[in-house]
Amino acid sequence: METDREFIEVFEAQRWPLERWRHRDHVRLAYLYLREYSLDEAADRIRAGIKAHNDAHGIVDRPTSGYHETMTMAWLRLVHMVLSEYGPEETADAFCDAHPELLEKKSLRLFYSKDLFMSPEAKSGFVEPDLSALPVPRDR
């Protein structure tokens, strides 16, 4: 298994294998960017990184495939909340293991209706949930 630094380097070089690009890797990436950058900078980096990764692997942006802004930003916000509330772990994998709730891909269904989530607006730009608000970190 690669280290966190190796994972970031391979991902940012668009060499992360498509067959290994799974939800857990998205969570790991969000965690690692949030450990180094502000929420806004992490958002810019993960957005650009996923789009570059998709381009490098020939993933065409279509209405039902490719980069999805709301999905990416909602997960980033969830990882940010958990990281803010519970703190970091030694590695990104340890963080994922400590927070299996973040590995449930379908969790966004608790916040978004299918119609809103699958809308062109949600794919191209971030939209707030229509079922329940995303949690936010408490002021400390």
pLDDT of the chain, 140 residues: tens digit per residue? 689 999 999 999 999 999 999 999 999 999 999 999 999 999 999 999 999 999 999 999 888 889 999 999 999 999 999 999 999 999 999 999 999 999 999 999 999 999 999 999 999 999 999 999 999 998 75
Is residue 133 one of the residues assigned to a domain?
no
Is residue 40 one of the residues assigned to a domain?
yes
The three-class DSSP label of residue 128 is coil
Closest alpha carbon to 46 in 79, 89, 95: 79
Q: Which helix (H) or strand (E) holds 134?
A: none
What per-residue confidence (pLDDT) applies to 140? 58
Whole-angstrom CA distances from 123 to 12, 70, 85, 115 are 22, 6, 28, 12
What per-residue confidence (pLDDT) applies to 65? 85
What per-residue confidence (pLDDT) applies to 139? 72
The three-class DSSP label of residue 7 is helix
What per-residue confidence (pLDDT) applies to 80? 98
Is residue 137 one of the residues assigned to a domain?
no
The residue assigned the tokens 């062109």 is 120
| DSSP state at residue 5 | H
Is residue 130 one of the residues assigned to a domain?
no
Structural domain that includes position 26: 4-124
Is residue 135 one of the residues assigned to a domain?
no
Is residue 136 one of the residues assigned to a domain?
no
- DSSP-based helix, strand, coil % in the chain, nearest 5: 65, 0, 35
Strand partners, 62: 65
Is residue 72 one of the residues assigned to a domain?
yes
Number of domains in the chain: 1
What per-residue confidence (pLDDT) applies to 1? 65
Is residue 26 one of the residues assigned to a domain?
yes
What per-residue confidence (pLDDT) applies to 119? 96
Cα of 19 vs its chain's centroid, Å: 17
